[in-house]
């Protein structure tokens, strides 16, 4: 195995594109190094992106935020403006692992590890985030929900790297939230995760919403029917019940040691409803 | 087979001292500390970032050194448990761990000390809940945690007195 720590995105792409064998991007390493050490993968080349300035910073951009792919969870949590604008995204990223893991783990890595249970991804999908991808043919943007295609597999092509995640400008009276179910209070893999983002008009009527679910399909899914249940309502009890039903209906989970299909389908509705309540309270400035 | 090519030369700072080493690209910072530099305080419990026995501080943040490559330490500042005491004088956390019997087998202890110091550096007066959250990435299978929490509280109180 060879280790490289380029200082520009261009050089990182050249390295990733040039190697004949398996090349892997190292961001926080909290998934990658575990996979290497447990012999699940044996890369020929590791490209550490943490020396690339643009991948290590959070910048405001057109009223939104551009978060470098190698920004750690701890850094996200310490960024006050980001936390104020997108509390759901930050709380989702900060749910991942211990303090030690937060010092290293990144949303770029969480996205590209492509786990269906990735905690930050449903929050990012609900937020309408896009991934900026840099590759041999230049840059392109992709909705975050289109990055993972199956467990451990992304739509990225040879030589492509997620450089940053962009969160859009927040409309007034907006709020987001992420909730997950785990069988203990901390540090576990989501059995179900639910992210909700919504915007209200001056009369408290929901004008825009996005709902995303984790750990209930082969990848994190956007659930347009659940969002439709909220839009045009005041996010009242009836709308929340319709949202929960739509969320449950969208699930196509597996049975595993962490939860049954039936349990996941039920809990997806419950969590989506609760996350919507928190997003609503935040949109109302409560 | 290309072994020379994969050696990485690293210049870093460990416990305040400049250190240079050669490591394989695969080697973790934990491997380097223990096997190349003789700093055996950090322990390998799980090797997957779950137990915290290998905790060290890199550039002010506590990390699992089993999930950091040795090569990544280039130009960084690393603090290990060996850097806590000043000469023969134990750090207040070390002293309180002894006084409160906050260890039994001792394998987890260096990780707890490093994580507790990182916690107190950021928050000199943590609540019990904050201590328990701050140390949730460190597993101890002997003490039941209570004595560890009491020792950290006592050390924090002493350190606040200065």
Residue of A6, A103, A106 for testing the chain B interface, max B β-carbons within 10 Å: A103
Asked whether the beta carbons of residue B136 and residue A48 sit closer than 8 angstroms, the reply is no
pLDDT of B21 over the 70 cut:
yes
The answer to whether A177 and A89 are in contact (CB under 8 A) is no
Asked whether the beta carbons of residue A100 and residue B55 sit closer than 8 angstroms, the reply is yes
Percent with pLDDT over 70 in chain A: 100
Q: Tell me if chain A has a CB within 8 Å of the CB of B28.
A: yes
- The correct CATH number of A174-283 out of 3.30.70.980, 3.40.50.1000, 3.30.390.50, 3.40.50.11740 is 3.30.390.50
Average pLDDT over residues A210-232: 98
**A34 contacts in B (CB within 8 Å)?**
48-49, 67
pLDDT digits (tens, 9 = 90+) for B89-132: 999 999 999 999 999 999 999 999 999 999 999 999 999 999 99
Domain A2-167 has CATH 3.20.20.10: no
The answer to whether A100 and B65 are in contact (CB under 8 A) is no
A101's torsion region: left (phi>0), alpha (psi -120 to 50) or beta? alpha
pLDDT of B45 over the 90 cut:
yes
Q: What tokens does B56 get?
A: 């060290």
Comparing CB atoms, the residue among A5, A33, A186 nearest residue B136 is: A186
Residues 6 or more apart in contact with residue B96 via CB below 8 angstroms: B102, B151, B152, B154, B155, B158
Residue of B nearest to A74 (CA): B61
> Which range among A37-46, A179-188, A224-233, B125-134 shows the weakest confidence by mean pLDDT?
A179-188
DSSP string, A119-179: SHHHHHHHHT-EEEEEETTEEEEEEGGGTEEETTEESPPTT-EEEEEEEPPPPSSEEEEEE
pLDDT of B6 over the 90 cut:
no
- The pTM of this model reads 0.96
> Which range among A59-63, A150-154, B48-52, B136-140 shows the weakest confidence by mean pLDDT?
A59-63
Average pLDDT over residues B60-73: 98
Q: Where are the alpha helices (DSSP H) in chain B?
A: 3-6, 29-31, 92-99, 109-122, 128-134, 146-161
pLDDT of residue A193: 98
pLDDT of residue B22: 97
pLDDT of B4 over the 70 cut:
no
CA distance A20 to chain B (A): 15
> What mean pLDDT, rounded, does chain B reach?
95
Q: Where are the domains of chain B?
A: 3-83, 92-161
> What mean pLDDT, rounded, does chain A reach?
97
Radius of gyration of chain B (CA): 16
Average pLDDT over residues A62-66: 94
pLDDT of residue B5: 58
Q: Domain spanning B3-83: which CATH class is it, in words?
A: alpha beta
3-state secondary structure of B29: helix
How far apart are the C-alpha atoms of B73 and B29, rounded to whole Å? 7
For strand A45-48 and strand A23-26, is the pairing parallel, antiparallel, or unpaired? parallel
Q: Tell me if chain A has a CB within 8 Å of the CB of B71.
A: yes
CA distance A139 to chain B (A): 27
pLDDT digits (tens, 9 = 90+) for A78-114: 999 999 999 999 999 999 999 999 999 999 999 999 9
What's the fold here for domain B92-161?
DNA polymerase; domain 1 (1.10.150)
Average pLDDT over residues A25-43: 96
pLDDT of residue A37: 92
In the stretch 75-114 of chain B, residues with CB closer than 8 A to chain A read: none
Asked whether the beta carbons of residue B69 and residue A48 sit closer than 8 angstroms, the reply is yes
């Amino acid at each position: 195995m060879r280790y490289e720590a380029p200082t520009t995105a261009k050089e990182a792409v050249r390295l990733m594109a040039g190697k004949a064998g398996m090349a892997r991007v190292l961001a926080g390493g909290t998934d990658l190094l575990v996979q290497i050490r447990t012999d699940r993968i044996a890369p020929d080349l590791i490209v550490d992106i943490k020396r690339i300035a643009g991948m290590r910073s959070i910048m405001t951009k057109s009223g939104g935020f551009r978060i470098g792919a190698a920004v750690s969870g701890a850094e996200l949590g310490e960024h006050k403006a980001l936390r104020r604008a997108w509390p759901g995204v930050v709380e989702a990223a900060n749910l991942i692992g211990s303090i030690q893991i937060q010092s290293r783990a990144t949303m770029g890595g969480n996205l590209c590890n492509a786990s269906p249970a990735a905690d930050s991804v449903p929050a990012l999908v609900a937020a309408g985030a896009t991934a900026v991808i840099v590759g041999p043919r230049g840059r392109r943007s992709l909705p975050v929900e289109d990055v993972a295609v199956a467990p451990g597999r992304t739509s990225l092509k040879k030589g492509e790297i997620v450089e940053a995640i962009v969160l859009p400008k927040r409309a007034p009276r907006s709020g987001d939230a992420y909730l997950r179910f785990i069988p203990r209070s901390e540090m576990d893999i989501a059995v179900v995760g639910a992210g909700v983002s919504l915007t209200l008009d001056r009369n408290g009527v929901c004008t825009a919403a996005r709902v995303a679910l984790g750990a209930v399909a082969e990848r994190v899914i956007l659930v347009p029917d659940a969002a439709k249940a909220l839009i045009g309502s005041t996010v009242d009890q009836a709308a929340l019940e319709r949202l929960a039903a739509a969320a449950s209906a969208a699930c196509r989970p597996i049975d595993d040691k962490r939860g049954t299909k039936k349990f996941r389908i039920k809990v997806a509705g419950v969590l989506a409803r609760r996350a919507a309540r928190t997003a609503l309270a935040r949109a109302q400035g409560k | 087979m290309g072994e020379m090519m994969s050696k990485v030369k690293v210049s870093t700072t460990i416990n305040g001292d400049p250190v240079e080493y050669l490591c394989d690209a695969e080697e973790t910072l934990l491997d380097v500390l223990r096997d190349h530099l003789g700093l055996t305080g950090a322990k390998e419990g799980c090797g997957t970032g779950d137990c915290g026995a290998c905790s060290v501080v890199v550039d002010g943040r506590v990390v699992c050194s089993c999930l950091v490559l040795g090569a990544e330490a280039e130009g960084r500042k690393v603090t290990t448990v060996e850097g806590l005491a000043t000469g023969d004088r134990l750090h207040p956390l070390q002293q309180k761990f002894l006084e409160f019997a906050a260890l039994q087998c001792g394998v987890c202890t260096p990780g707890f000390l490093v994580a507790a110091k990182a916690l107190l550096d950021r928050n000199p007066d943590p609540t019990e809940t904050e201590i328990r959250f701050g140390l949730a990435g460190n597993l101890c299978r002997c003490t039941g945690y209570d004595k560890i929490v009491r020792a950290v509280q006592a050390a924090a109180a002493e350190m606040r007195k200065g």
